[in-house]
Chain A
Protein backbone atom coordinates (compact mmCIF):
# COMPACT_ATOMS: atom_id res chain seq x y z
CA UNK A 1 0.00 0.00 0.00
CA UNK A 2 3.01 2.23 -0.35
CA UNK A 3 1.68 4.15 -3.33
CA UNK A 4 -1.97 4.10 -2.31
CA UNK A 5 -4.06 6.73 -3.98
CA UNK A 6 -5.47 9.39 -1.66
CA UNK A 7 -9.08 10.13 -2.68
CA UNK A 8 -10.08 12.52 0.08
CA UNK A 9 -7.72 14.66 2.08
CA UNK A 10 -8.46 17.12 4.83
CA UNK A 11 -5.77 19.61 5.80
CA UNK A 12 -6.02 21.11 9.25
CA UNK A 13 -9.78 21.56 9.18
CA UNK A 14 -11.36 23.23 12.17
CA UNK A 15 -14.83 24.12 13.25
CA UNK A 16 -15.82 26.21 16.19
CA UNK A 17 -19.09 27.56 17.42
CA UNK A 18 -18.24 30.69 19.32
CA UNK A 19 -15.69 29.62 21.89
CA UNK A 20 -16.48 25.92 21.58
CA UNK A 21 -13.98 24.08 19.40
CA UNK A 22 -15.71 21.03 17.92
CA UNK A 23 -13.00 20.07 15.45
CA UNK A 24 -9.46 21.31 16.00
CA UNK A 25 -7.03 21.28 13.06
CA UNK A 26 -7.75 17.74 11.96
CA UNK A 27 -5.82 16.36 9.01
CA UNK A 28 -6.85 13.06 7.54
CA UNK A 29 -6.18 11.20 4.28
CA UNK A 30 -8.51 8.51 2.95
CA UNK A 31 -6.92 6.05 0.55
CA UNK A 32 -8.53 3.86 -2.03
CA UNK A 33 -8.72 0.30 -0.80
CA UNK A 34 -8.63 1.09 2.88
CA UNK A 35 -11.06 1.48 5.78
CA UNK A 36 -10.09 4.38 7.97
CA UNK A 37 -11.93 4.37 11.27
CA UNK A 38 -12.41 7.43 13.44
CA UNK A 39 -13.13 6.69 17.07
CA UNK A 40 -13.61 8.86 20.10
CA UNK A 41 -15.98 9.46 22.96
CA UNK A 42 -19.32 11.20 22.47
CA UNK A 43 -18.71 14.83 21.66
CA UNK A 44 -15.18 14.18 20.36
CA UNK A 45 -16.17 15.78 17.04
CA UNK A 46 -16.51 12.69 14.86
CA UNK A 47 -19.89 13.59 13.38
CA UNK A 48 -18.85 17.22 12.92
CA UNK A 49 -15.82 15.94 11.02
CA UNK A 50 -18.05 13.92 8.67
CA UNK A 51 -20.36 16.89 8.26
CA UNK A 52 -17.44 19.12 7.25
CA UNK A 53 -15.97 16.55 4.87
CA UNK A 54 -19.31 16.00 3.15
CA UNK A 55 -20.00 19.73 2.97
CA UNK A 56 -23.05 19.74 5.19
CA UNK A 57 -21.49 22.44 7.36
CA UNK A 58 -18.63 24.73 6.33
CA UNK A 59 -15.25 24.50 8.01
CA UNK A 60 -14.04 27.49 10.01
CA UNK A 61 -10.55 26.86 8.65
CA UNK A 62 -8.54 24.39 6.60
CA UNK A 63 -8.95 22.71 3.23
CA UNK A 64 -10.76 19.68 1.87
CA UNK A 65 -9.51 17.99 -1.30
CA UNK A 66 -11.54 15.42 -3.20
CA UNK A 67 -9.80 13.43 -5.95
CA UNK A 68 -7.03 16.00 -5.98
CA UNK A 69 -9.35 19.00 -6.35
CA UNK A 70 -9.86 21.67 -3.73
CA UNK A 71 -13.56 21.34 -2.84
CA UNK A 72 -13.55 23.49 0.31
CA UNK A 73 -15.95 25.98 -1.24
CA UNK A 74 -18.20 23.43 -2.91
CA UNK A 75 -21.77 22.78 -1.79
CA UNK A 76 -22.73 19.39 -0.46
CA UNK A 77 -24.69 18.34 -3.57
CA UNK A 78 -21.76 19.23 -5.81
CA UNK A 79 -19.35 17.21 -3.70
CA UNK A 80 -21.80 14.32 -3.75
CA UNK A 81 -22.00 14.37 -7.53
CA UNK A 82 -18.21 14.45 -7.69
CA UNK A 83 -18.01 11.10 -5.91
CA UNK A 84 -18.52 11.63 -2.21
CA UNK A 85 -21.16 9.44 -0.60
CA UNK A 86 -22.26 9.49 3.01
CA UNK A 87 -24.62 7.61 5.26
CA UNK A 88 -26.29 8.90 8.38
CA UNK A 89 -26.32 7.65 11.92
CA UNK A 90 -30.11 7.37 11.90
CA UNK A 91 -32.13 5.91 9.07
CA UNK A 92 -32.73 8.34 6.26
CA UNK A 93 -34.43 5.96 3.87
CA UNK A 94 -37.75 6.86 2.24
CA UNK A 95 -40.13 4.48 4.03
CA UNK A 96 -43.05 4.63 1.59
CA UNK A 97 -40.88 3.88 -1.45
CA UNK A 98 -39.81 0.36 -2.40
CA UNK A 99 -36.19 -0.69 -1.94
CA UNK A 100 -35.61 -0.29 -5.66
CA UNK A 101 -37.24 3.15 -5.74
CA UNK A 102 -35.07 4.26 -2.82
CA UNK A 103 -31.93 3.24 -4.68
CA UNK A 104 -33.20 4.65 -7.95
CA UNK A 105 -33.89 8.02 -6.39
CA UNK A 106 -30.29 8.12 -5.19
CA UNK A 107 -28.93 6.92 -8.53
CA UNK A 108 -31.01 9.56 -10.28
CA UNK A 109 -28.69 12.22 -8.84
CA UNK A 110 -26.41 11.73 -11.85
CA UNK A 111 -29.20 11.89 -14.44
CA UNK A 112 -31.56 14.35 -12.81
CA UNK A 113 -33.27 15.75 -15.93
CA UNK A 114 -35.92 17.62 -13.94
CA UNK A 115 -37.48 19.00 -17.10
CA UNK A 116 -38.41 15.53 -18.36
CA UNK A 117 -41.68 15.61 -16.46
CA UNK A 118 -43.50 13.29 -18.85
CA UNK A 119 -41.00 10.46 -18.66
CA UNK A 120 -41.58 8.21 -15.64
CA UNK A 121 -38.65 7.81 -13.24
CA UNK A 122 -39.06 4.04 -13.49
CA UNK A 123 -38.21 4.16 -17.19
CA UNK A 124 -34.77 5.68 -16.63
CA UNK A 125 -32.44 2.86 -17.69
CA UNK A 126 -29.27 4.40 -16.27
CA UNK A 127 -30.54 4.95 -12.75
CA UNK A 128 -32.47 1.67 -12.70
CA UNK A 129 -29.33 -0.29 -13.59
CA UNK A 130 -27.25 1.55 -11.00
CA UNK A 131 -30.00 1.03 -8.41
CA UNK A 132 -30.20 -2.72 -9.03
CA UNK A 133 -26.44 -3.09 -8.91
CA UNK A 134 -26.22 -1.16 -5.64
CA UNK A 135 -29.05 -3.13 -4.03
CA UNK A 136 -27.44 -6.41 -5.10
CA UNK A 137 -24.08 -5.32 -3.75
CA UNK A 138 -25.61 -4.46 -0.39
CA UNK A 139 -27.32 -7.85 -0.27
CA UNK A 140 -30.87 -6.69 -0.93
CA UNK A 141 -31.52 -8.24 -4.34
CA UNK A 142 -34.37 -10.41 -3.09
CA UNK A 143 -36.17 -7.44 -1.60
CA UNK A 144 -36.31 -4.95 -4.47
CA UNK A 145 -40.09 -4.54 -4.43
CA UNK A 146 -40.42 -4.51 -0.63
CA UNK A 147 -41.58 -1.25 0.87
CA UNK A 148 -38.57 0.17 2.68
CA UNK A 149 -40.51 0.97 5.86
CA UNK A 150 -41.28 -2.74 6.29
CA UNK A 151 -37.65 -3.88 6.31
CA UNK A 152 -35.92 -5.10 9.48
CA UNK A 153 -33.52 -2.75 11.20
CA UNK A 154 -30.46 -4.47 9.76
CA UNK A 155 -31.94 -4.41 6.27
CA UNK A 156 -32.68 -0.71 6.63
CA UNK A 157 -29.03 -0.11 7.44
CA UNK A 158 -28.08 -2.17 4.39
CA UNK A 159 -30.44 -0.08 2.29
CA UNK A 160 -28.78 3.03 3.70
CA UNK A 161 -25.47 1.72 2.29
CA UNK A 162 -27.13 0.67 -0.97
CA UNK A 163 -28.45 4.20 -1.46
CA UNK A 164 -24.95 5.48 -0.89
CA UNK A 165 -23.56 3.05 -3.46
CA UNK A 166 -26.25 3.86 -6.01
CA UNK A 167 -24.63 7.23 -6.63
CA UNK A 168 -21.43 5.33 -7.49
CA UNK A 169 -19.19 7.27 -5.10
CA UNK A 170 -15.47 6.75 -4.71
CA UNK A 171 -15.36 7.92 -1.13
CA UNK A 172 -17.77 6.62 1.51
CA UNK A 173 -18.29 8.43 4.79
CA UNK A 174 -20.20 6.06 7.04
CA UNK A 175 -21.62 7.40 10.29
CA UNK A 176 -22.19 4.49 12.67
CA UNK A 177 -23.46 1.94 10.16
CA UNK A 178 -23.51 -0.72 12.90
CA UNK A 179 -25.61 1.20 15.41
CA UNK A 180 -28.28 -0.95 17.00
CA UNK A 181 -27.32 -4.11 15.13
CA UNK A 182 -27.24 -7.64 16.50
CA UNK A 183 -24.16 -9.86 16.19
CA UNK A 184 -25.32 -11.56 13.01
CA UNK A 185 -26.27 -8.29 11.31
CA UNK A 186 -22.93 -6.81 12.37
CA UNK A 187 -21.09 -9.71 10.74
CA UNK A 188 -23.01 -9.25 7.53
CA UNK A 189 -22.31 -5.51 7.48
CA UNK A 190 -18.60 -6.03 8.16
CA UNK A 191 -18.41 -8.51 5.31
CA UNK A 192 -20.03 -5.92 3.09
CA UNK A 193 -17.58 -3.22 4.19
CA UNK A 194 -14.65 -5.57 3.59
CA UNK A 195 -15.96 -6.13 0.09
CA UNK A 196 -16.45 -2.40 -0.52
CA UNK A 197 -12.91 -1.64 0.60
CA UNK A 198 -11.87 -2.72 -2.88
CA UNK A 199 -12.22 0.35 -5.05
CA UNK A 200 -13.44 2.75 -2.38
CA UNK A 201 -11.92 4.93 0.27
CA UNK A 202 -13.99 4.45 3.41
CA UNK A 203 -14.23 6.61 6.50
CA UNK A 204 -15.94 4.74 9.30
CA UNK A 205 -17.20 6.39 12.45
CA UNK A 206 -18.23 3.67 14.84
CA UNK A 207 -18.73 2.98 18.53
CA UNK A 208 -18.47 -0.81 18.33
CA UNK A 209 -14.77 -1.23 19.18
CA UNK A 210 -14.59 -4.94 18.39
CA UNK A 211 -15.91 -4.25 14.93
CA UNK A 212 -13.56 -1.31 14.41
CA UNK A 213 -10.49 -3.35 15.30
CA UNK A 214 -11.67 -6.17 13.06
CA UNK A 215 -12.21 -4.10 9.94
CA UNK A 216 -10.07 -0.97 10.09
CA UNK A 217 -6.76 -0.57 8.28
CA UNK A 218 -6.06 2.71 10.01
CA UNK A 219 -7.57 4.21 13.15
CA UNK A 220 -7.68 7.86 14.08
CA UNK A 221 -8.52 8.68 17.67
CA UNK A 222 -10.15 12.00 18.49
CA UNK A 223 -10.45 13.63 21.89
CA UNK A 224 -12.12 17.01 22.34
CA UNK A 225 -12.03 17.74 18.64
CA UNK A 226 -8.32 17.01 18.17
CA UNK A 227 -6.51 13.96 16.85
CA UNK A 228 -4.38 12.30 19.53
CA UNK A 229 -3.31 9.27 17.48
CA UNK A 230 -3.58 7.99 13.94
CA UNK A 231 -2.03 4.63 13.21
CA UNK A 232 -2.59 0.96 12.52
CA UNK A 233 -4.99 -0.85 14.89
CA UNK A 234 -2.18 -2.61 16.75
CA UNK A 235 -0.22 0.58 17.26
CA UNK A 236 -3.33 2.43 18.41
CA UNK A 237 -4.17 -0.33 20.87
CA UNK A 238 -0.66 -0.08 22.32
CA UNK A 239 -0.57 3.73 22.39
CA UNK A 240 -0.47 4.91 26.03
CA UNK A 241 -2.19 8.23 25.28
CA UNK A 242 -5.10 6.40 23.70
CA UNK A 243 -5.26 3.96 26.57
CA UNK A 244 -5.48 6.65 29.18
CA UNK A 245 -7.82 8.89 27.21
CA UNK A 246 -10.20 6.46 25.72
CA UNK A 247 -9.76 2.72 25.99
CA UNK A 248 -9.87 2.86 29.76
CA UNK A 249 -6.22 2.17 30.52
CA UNK A 250 -6.10 -1.62 30.19
Chain B
Protein backbone atom coordinates (compact mmCIF):
# COMPACT_ATOMS: atom_id res chain seq x y z
CA UNK B 1 0.00 0.00 0.00
CA UNK B 2 1.49 3.36 -0.87
CA UNK B 3 2.01 6.17 1.54
CA UNK B 4 -0.83 8.45 0.46
CA UNK B 5 -3.42 5.75 1.14
CA UNK B 6 -2.05 5.05 4.60
CA UNK B 7 -2.07 8.79 5.24
CA UNK B 8 -5.65 9.04 4.07
CA UNK B 9 -6.84 6.25 6.37
CA UNK B 10 -4.87 7.55 9.35
CA UNK B 11 -6.22 11.05 8.70
CA UNK B 12 -9.77 9.73 8.55
CA UNK B 13 -9.32 7.84 11.81
CA UNK B 14 -7.80 10.92 13.46
CA UNK B 15 -10.75 13.02 12.32
CA UNK B 16 -13.10 10.43 13.79
CA UNK B 17 -11.12 10.51 17.03
CA UNK B 18 -11.47 14.29 17.27
CA UNK B 19 -15.13 14.35 16.28
CA UNK B 20 -16.55 13.86 19.83
CA UNK B 21 -15.05 17.25 20.78
CA UNK B 22 -17.50 19.04 18.52
CA UNK B 23 -20.34 16.55 18.27
CA UNK B 24 -23.76 16.64 19.84
CA UNK B 25 -25.53 13.53 21.07
CA UNK B 26 -27.26 12.87 17.75
CA UNK B 27 -24.10 13.28 15.71
CA UNK B 28 -22.11 11.03 18.00
CA UNK B 29 -24.67 8.26 17.69
CA UNK B 30 -24.93 8.65 13.92
CA UNK B 31 -21.16 8.51 13.38
CA UNK B 32 -20.82 5.55 15.74
CA UNK B 33 -23.50 3.72 13.75
CA UNK B 34 -21.78 4.59 10.49
CA UNK B 35 -18.48 3.25 11.84
CA UNK B 36 -20.30 0.02 12.71
CA UNK B 37 -21.55 -0.24 9.13
CA UNK B 38 -18.03 0.50 7.96
CA UNK B 39 -16.73 -2.49 9.94
CA UNK B 40 -19.42 -4.69 8.37
CA UNK B 41 -18.60 -3.27 4.93
CA UNK B 42 -14.93 -4.08 5.52
CA UNK B 43 -15.85 -7.67 6.30
CA UNK B 44 -17.74 -7.84 3.02
CA UNK B 45 -14.88 -6.20 1.14
CA UNK B 46 -12.66 -9.10 2.22
CA UNK B 47 -15.02 -11.43 0.33
CA UNK B 48 -16.06 -9.34 -2.65
CA UNK B 49 -13.07 -7.13 -3.29
CA UNK B 50 -10.26 -9.40 -2.24
CA UNK B 51 -11.43 -12.93 -2.91
CA UNK B 52 -14.02 -12.26 -5.59
CA UNK B 53 -16.88 -13.90 -3.71
CA UNK B 54 -20.06 -11.86 -3.98
CA UNK B 55 -21.84 -12.68 -0.73
CA UNK B 56 -25.44 -11.54 -0.42
CA UNK B 57 -25.92 -12.87 3.10
CA UNK B 58 -23.64 -10.73 5.22
CA UNK B 59 -26.63 -9.60 7.32
CA UNK B 60 -26.87 -13.07 8.88
CA UNK B 61 -23.43 -12.75 10.47
CA UNK B 62 -24.21 -9.21 11.57
CA UNK B 63 -27.51 -10.34 13.05
CA UNK B 64 -25.97 -13.27 14.89
CA UNK B 65 -23.40 -10.96 16.47
CA UNK B 66 -26.20 -8.60 17.51
CA UNK B 67 -28.52 -11.28 18.88
CA UNK B 68 -25.55 -12.93 20.60
CA UNK B 69 -24.89 -9.72 22.51
CA UNK B 70 -28.45 -9.75 23.83
CA UNK B 71 -29.10 -13.46 24.34
CA UNK B 72 -25.78 -14.18 26.04
CA UNK B 73 -26.07 -11.25 28.45
CA UNK B 74 -27.60 -11.90 31.85
CA UNK B 75 -30.60 -9.95 33.12
CA UNK B 76 -29.13 -9.30 36.55
CA UNK B 77 -25.67 -7.88 35.95
CA UNK B 78 -23.68 -6.46 33.01
CA UNK B 79 -21.84 -9.10 31.02
CA UNK B 80 -18.09 -8.79 30.73
CA UNK B 81 -16.99 -7.42 27.39
CA UNK B 82 -13.93 -9.63 27.62
CA UNK B 83 -15.85 -12.78 26.87
CA UNK B 84 -19.07 -11.47 25.34
CA UNK B 85 -17.45 -9.85 22.30
CA UNK B 86 -15.31 -12.91 21.45
CA UNK B 87 -18.36 -15.11 21.98
CA UNK B 88 -20.41 -13.05 19.52
CA UNK B 89 -17.62 -13.03 16.95
CA UNK B 90 -17.19 -16.77 17.39
CA UNK B 91 -20.92 -17.49 16.99
CA UNK B 92 -20.99 -15.53 13.75
CA UNK B 93 -17.79 -17.26 12.61
CA UNK B 94 -19.23 -20.71 13.28
CA UNK B 95 -22.36 -19.89 11.31
CA UNK B 96 -20.18 -18.50 8.51
CA UNK B 97 -18.11 -21.67 8.54
CA UNK B 98 -21.23 -23.79 8.06
CA UNK B 99 -22.72 -21.53 5.39
CA UNK B 100 -19.37 -21.26 3.64
CA UNK B 101 -18.74 -24.99 3.70
CA UNK B 102 -21.90 -25.51 1.64
CA UNK B 103 -22.18 -22.34 -0.42
CA UNK B 104 -18.53 -22.28 -1.56
CA UNK B 105 -19.23 -25.39 -3.58
CA UNK B 106 -21.21 -23.18 -5.91
CA UNK B 107 -20.01 -20.32 -8.05
CA UNK B 108 -21.08 -16.99 -9.46
CA UNK B 109 -24.77 -16.22 -9.33
CA UNK B 110 -25.51 -19.52 -7.57
CA UNK B 111 -23.18 -18.49 -4.77
CA UNK B 112 -25.00 -15.18 -4.44
CA UNK B 113 -28.36 -16.96 -4.24
CA UNK B 114 -27.20 -19.62 -1.78
CA UNK B 115 -25.72 -17.06 0.62
CA UNK B 116 -28.94 -15.07 0.36
CA UNK B 117 -30.96 -18.19 1.08
CA UNK B 118 -28.96 -18.96 4.21
CA UNK B 119 -29.38 -15.41 5.47
CA UNK B 120 -33.13 -15.53 4.84
CA UNK B 121 -33.27 -18.83 6.68
CA UNK B 122 -31.62 -17.21 9.70
CA UNK B 123 -34.04 -14.30 9.37
CA UNK B 124 -37.07 -16.59 9.58
CA UNK B 125 -35.60 -18.52 12.50
CA UNK B 126 -35.41 -15.36 14.63
CA UNK B 127 -38.60 -13.96 13.16
CA UNK B 128 -40.82 -16.97 13.71
CA UNK B 129 -39.46 -18.83 16.72
CA UNK B 130 -39.42 -17.96 20.43
CA UNK B 131 -35.61 -18.16 20.33
CA UNK B 132 -35.28 -14.67 18.92
CA UNK B 133 -38.28 -13.09 20.62
CA UNK B 134 -40.23 -12.98 17.36
CA UNK B 135 -41.02 -9.86 15.37
CA UNK B 136 -40.92 -7.58 18.42
CA UNK B 137 -37.25 -8.15 19.04
CA UNK B 138 -35.54 -8.10 22.43
CA UNK B 139 -34.12 -5.39 24.66
CA UNK B 140 -30.65 -5.40 26.13
CA UNK B 141 -31.11 -3.72 29.48
CA UNK B 142 -27.62 -4.08 30.94
CA UNK B 143 -24.86 -3.22 28.53
CA UNK B 144 -21.55 -5.07 28.64
CA UNK B 145 -18.61 -3.58 30.51
CA UNK B 146 -15.19 -4.40 31.83
CA UNK B 147 -15.44 -3.90 35.59
CA UNK B 148 -15.91 -0.23 36.39
CA UNK B 149 -13.54 1.39 33.97
CA UNK B 150 -15.12 0.59 30.61
CA UNK B 151 -18.90 0.74 30.36
CA UNK B 152 -20.34 0.48 26.86
CA UNK B 153 -23.60 1.90 28.21
CA UNK B 154 -21.95 5.30 28.05
CA UNK B 155 -22.33 6.66 24.48
CA UNK B 156 -18.90 8.27 24.43
CA UNK B 157 -17.19 5.09 25.64
CA UNK B 158 -19.14 3.14 23.04
CA UNK B 159 -17.97 5.61 20.39
CA UNK B 160 -14.32 5.19 21.35
CA UNK B 161 -14.62 1.46 21.51
CA UNK B 162 -16.26 1.32 18.06
CA UNK B 163 -13.53 3.52 16.64
CA UNK B 164 -10.90 1.20 18.15
CA UNK B 165 -12.65 -1.80 16.56
CA UNK B 166 -12.76 -0.03 13.19
CA UNK B 167 -9.06 0.80 13.41
CA UNK B 168 -8.25 -2.76 14.43
CA UNK B 169 -10.30 -4.22 11.56
CA UNK B 170 -8.57 -1.92 9.05
CA UNK B 171 -5.12 -2.76 10.40
CA UNK B 172 -5.83 -6.47 10.49
CA UNK B 173 -7.12 -6.57 6.92
CA UNK B 174 -4.35 -4.33 5.60
CA UNK B 175 -1.75 -6.66 7.07
CA UNK B 176 -3.61 -9.72 5.94
CA UNK B 177 -3.78 -8.53 2.32
CA UNK B 178 -0.01 -8.21 2.23
CA UNK B 179 0.54 -11.66 3.68
CA UNK B 180 0.84 -14.90 1.75
CA UNK B 181 -2.76 -15.67 2.68
CA UNK B 182 -3.92 -12.35 1.25
CA UNK B 183 -1.92 -12.76 -1.94
CA UNK B 184 -3.40 -16.20 -2.41
CA UNK B 185 -6.91 -14.76 -1.98
CA UNK B 186 -6.12 -12.14 -4.61
CA UNK B 187 -4.87 -14.89 -6.89
CA UNK B 188 -8.11 -16.77 -6.38
CA UNK B 189 -10.11 -13.68 -7.33
CA UNK B 190 -8.25 -13.18 -10.59
CA UNK B 191 -7.89 -16.79 -11.67
CA UNK B 192 -8.85 -19.61 -9.36
CA UNK B 193 -8.10 -22.27 -11.96
CA UNK B 194 -4.52 -21.10 -12.25
CA UNK B 195 -4.14 -21.12 -8.47
CA UNK B 196 -5.20 -24.76 -8.37
CA UNK B 197 -2.80 -25.61 -11.18
CA UNK B 198 -0.05 -23.91 -9.20
CA UNK B 199 -0.67 -26.08 -6.14
CA UNK B 200 -3.13 -24.16 -3.98
CA UNK B 201 -6.18 -25.98 -2.66
CA UNK B 202 -8.46 -23.01 -3.06
CA UNK B 203 -11.50 -24.25 -1.15
CA UNK B 204 -9.93 -24.05 2.34
CA UNK B 205 -8.62 -20.59 1.50
CA UNK B 206 -12.05 -19.36 0.52
CA UNK B 207 -13.62 -20.99 3.55
CA UNK B 208 -11.09 -19.31 5.87
CA UNK B 209 -11.79 -15.92 4.30
CA UNK B 210 -15.52 -16.51 4.60
CA UNK B 211 -15.25 -17.46 8.27
CA UNK B 212 -13.05 -14.50 9.12
CA UNK B 213 -15.43 -12.22 7.30
CA UNK B 214 -18.30 -13.65 9.35
CA UNK B 215 -16.43 -13.01 12.58
CA UNK B 216 -15.76 -9.37 11.69
CA UNK B 217 -19.39 -8.86 10.68
CA UNK B 218 -20.34 -10.44 14.02
CA UNK B 219 -18.28 -7.83 15.87
CA UNK B 220 -20.12 -5.11 13.95
CA UNK B 221 -23.46 -6.68 14.90
CA UNK B 222 -22.41 -6.81 18.55
CA UNK B 223 -21.54 -3.10 18.53
CA UNK B 224 -24.87 -2.33 16.87
CA UNK B 225 -26.90 -4.18 19.48
CA UNK B 226 -25.00 -2.55 22.32
CA UNK B 227 -25.51 0.91 20.89
CA UNK B 228 -29.25 0.54 20.37
CA UNK B 229 -29.89 -1.70 23.36
CA UNK B 230 -32.40 -3.45 21.14
CA UNK B 231 -32.37 -6.07 18.39
CA UNK B 232 -35.05 -7.15 15.94
CA UNK B 233 -35.18 -9.59 13.02
CA UNK B 234 -34.63 -6.77 10.51
CA UNK B 235 -30.94 -7.02 11.32
CA UNK B 236 -30.98 -10.31 9.40
CA UNK B 237 -32.88 -9.00 6.42
CA UNK B 238 -31.51 -8.84 2.90
CA UNK B 239 -31.91 -5.05 2.99
CA UNK B 240 -28.85 -4.89 5.20
CA UNK B 241 -26.86 -7.30 3.00
CA UNK B 242 -27.81 -5.16 0.01
CA UNK B 243 -26.90 -1.91 1.75
CA UNK B 244 -23.48 -3.26 2.64
CA UNK B 245 -22.91 -4.26 -0.99
CA UNK B 246 -23.97 -0.79 -2.10
CA UNK B 247 -21.54 0.76 0.39
CA UNK B 248 -18.54 -1.08 -1.00
CA UNK B 249 -19.62 -0.46 -4.60
CA UNK B 250 -20.13 3.23 -3.84
CA UNK B 251 -16.74 3.49 -2.15
CA UNK B 252 -14.90 1.41 -4.71
CA UNK B 253 -14.48 -2.36 -4.71
CA UNK B 254 -10.96 -3.64 -4.28
CA UNK B 255 -9.85 -1.06 -1.72
CA UNK B 256 -10.18 -1.24 2.05
CA UNK B 257 -10.64 2.50 2.29
CA UNK B 258 -13.45 2.11 -0.24
CA UNK B 259 -15.50 0.32 2.41
CA UNK B 260 -14.83 3.14 4.86
CA UNK B 261 -15.64 5.89 2.36
CA UNK B 262 -18.66 4.00 1.08
CA UNK B 263 -20.18 3.55 4.53
CA UNK B 264 -19.90 7.26 5.25
CA UNK B 265 -21.13 8.30 1.82
CA UNK B 266 -24.13 6.01 2.22
CA UNK B 267 -24.93 7.40 5.67
CA UNK B 268 -24.61 10.98 4.44
CA UNK B 269 -26.85 10.35 1.44
CA UNK B 270 -29.41 8.70 3.66
CA UNK B 271 -29.36 11.62 6.09
CA UNK B 272 -29.64 14.07 3.23
CA UNK B 273 -32.61 12.43 1.55
CA UNK B 274 -34.38 11.85 4.86
CA UNK B 275 -34.01 15.48 5.83
CA UNK B 276 -37.33 17.35 5.81
CA UNK B 277 -35.44 20.63 5.95
CA UNK B 278 -34.05 19.95 2.50
CA UNK B 279 -36.71 17.91 0.77
CA UNK B 280 -39.85 18.79 2.71
CA UNK B 281 -42.59 16.26 2.07
CA UNK B 282 -40.46 14.34 -0.37
CA UNK B 283 -38.26 13.23 2.52
CA UNK B 284 -40.82 10.46 3.07
CA UNK B 285 -39.72 8.98 -0.26
CA UNK B 286 -36.02 9.09 0.58
CA UNK B 287 -35.43 5.65 -0.90
CA UNK B 288 -36.12 7.08 -4.35
CA UNK B 289 -33.53 9.83 -4.09
CA UNK B 290 -30.98 7.48 -2.55
CA UNK B 291 -31.54 4.90 -5.26
CA UNK B 292 -31.24 7.40 -8.10
CA UNK B 293 -28.06 8.82 -6.63
CA UNK B 294 -26.55 5.37 -6.36
CA UNK B 295 -27.49 4.53 -9.95
CA UNK B 296 -25.95 7.81 -11.09
CA UNK B 297 -22.77 7.26 -9.12
CA UNK B 298 -22.31 3.74 -10.45
CA UNK B 299 -22.82 5.01 -13.98
CA UNK B 300 -20.47 7.98 -13.60
CA UNK B 301 -17.90 6.52 -11.21
CA UNK B 302 -17.36 2.91 -12.22
CA UNK B 303 -14.43 2.63 -9.82
CA UNK B 304 -16.29 4.21 -6.94
CA UNK B 305 -15.46 7.27 -4.88
CA UNK B 306 -11.94 5.92 -4.40
CA UNK B 307 -11.38 6.53 -8.11
CA UNK B 308 -12.40 10.19 -8.03
CA UNK B 309 -8.89 11.69 -7.55
CA UNK B 310 -7.66 9.59 -10.45
CA UNK B 311 -10.59 10.67 -12.58
CA UNK B 312 -9.88 14.34 -11.85
CA UNK B 313 -6.20 13.92 -12.62
CA UNK B 314 -7.05 12.26 -15.92
CA UNK B 315 -9.41 15.11 -16.79
CA UNK B 316 -6.88 17.79 -15.89
CA UNK B 317 -3.64 16.28 -17.15
CA UNK B 318 -4.80 13.90 -19.84
CA UNK B 319 -4.87 10.16 -19.71
CA UNK B 320 -2.26 8.70 -17.47
CA UNK B 321 -0.55 5.36 -17.37
CA UNK B 322 -3.39 4.16 -15.18
CA UNK B 323 -5.90 4.75 -17.91
CA UNK B 324 -3.70 2.77 -20.25
CA UNK B 325 -3.49 0.06 -17.64
CA UNK B 326 -7.28 -0.14 -17.46
CA UNK B 327 -7.37 -0.76 -21.17
CA UNK B 328 -4.68 -3.38 -21.30
CA UNK B 329 -5.90 -5.37 -18.32
CA UNK B 330 -9.44 -6.01 -19.28
CA UNK B 331 -9.86 -7.18 -15.73
CA UNK B 332 -8.93 -5.66 -12.43
A residues whose Cβ falls under 8 Å from a Cβ of B? 54, 56, 75-78, 80-81, 85-86, 88, 92, 94-97, 101, 104-106, 108-122, 124, 127, 147, 149-150, 163, 167
Q: Among B183, B199, B329, B332, which residue has its beta carbon within 8 angstroms of that of A77?
A: B199
Within residues 312 to 332 of chain B, which ones have a CB less than 8 A from any CB in chain A? 324-325, 328-332
Could you jot down 14 A-B contacts, CB within 8 Å?
Answer: A76-B197, A77-B196, A77-B198, A77-B200, A80-B196, A81-B199, A85-B197, A92-B194, A95-B330, A97-B186, A108-B184, A114-B205, A121-B179, A149-B329
B132 at the A interface (CB under 8 A): no
B100 at the A interface (CB under 8 A): no
Given A105-B198, A109-B200, A114-B204, 12 more pairs with CB closer than 8 A = A56-B193, A56-B196, A76-B196, A80-B196, A80-B198, A81-B199, A92-B193, A95-B190, A109-B199, A116-B179, A121-B178, A149-B328
CA distance A97 to B201 in the complex (A): 21
Residues in chain A near residue B329, CB distance under 8 A: 95-96, 149
CA distance A110 to B199 in the complex (A): 8
CA distance A69 to B187 in the complex (A): 29
Within residues 197 to 216 of chain B, which ones have a CB less than 8 A from any CB in chain A? 197-202, 204-205, 208
B180 at the A interface (CB under 8 A): yes
Q: Among A77, A88, A113, A116, which residue has its beta carbon within 8 angstroms of that of B201?
A: A77
Residue pair A80, B199 in contact (C-beta under 8 Å): yes
Residue pair B205, A121 in contact (C-beta under 8 Å): no
CA distance A119 to B199 in the complex (A): 21
A79 nearest in chain B by CB position = B199
B284 at the A interface (CB under 8 A): no
Q: A80-B198, A149-B329 are in contact. Are A117 and B190 (CB under 8 A)?
A: no
B175 at the A interface (CB under 8 A): yes
A82 nearest in chain B by CB position = B199
Residue pair B184, A114 in contact (C-beta under 8 Å): yes
B residues whose Cβ falls under 8 Å from a Cβ of A? 172, 175-176, 178-184, 186-187, 190-191, 193-194, 196-202, 204-205, 208, 324-325, 328-332
A83 nearest in chain B by CB position = B199
Q: Among B175, B176, B181, B197, which residue has its beta carbon within 8 angstroms of that of A80?
A: B197
Q: Among A86, A88, A108, A167, which residue has its beta carbon within 8 angstroms of that of B180?
A: A108
Residues in chain B near residue A54, CB distance under 8 A: 197
Residue pair B180, A124 in contact (C-beta under 8 Å): yes
Residue pair B201, A75 in contact (C-beta under 8 Å): yes
Q: A95-B331, A116-B179 are in contact. Are A167 and B187 (CB under 8 A)?
A: no
Residues in chain A near residue B181, CB distance under 8 A: 113-117
CA distance A121 to B194 in the complex (A): 19
Residues in chain A near residue B190, CB distance under 8 A: 94-96
CA distance A152 to B325 in the complex (A): 13
Residues in chain B near residue A105, CB distance under 8 A: 183-184, 187, 198
Residue pair B182, A117 in contact (C-beta under 8 Å): yes
Residues in chain A near residue B332, CB distance under 8 A: 96
The 4 closest A-B pairs by CB, nearest first: A109-B199, A80-B199, A92-B194, A81-B199
Residues in chain A near residue B331, CB distance under 8 A: 95
Residues in chain A near residue B179, CB distance under 8 A: 116-121
A166 nearest in chain B by CB position = B198
A118 nearest in chain B by CB position = B175
Residues in chain B near residue A106, CB distance under 8 A: 198
Residue pair B178, A88 in contact (C-beta under 8 Å): no
Residues in chain A near residue B328, CB distance under 8 A: 95, 149-150
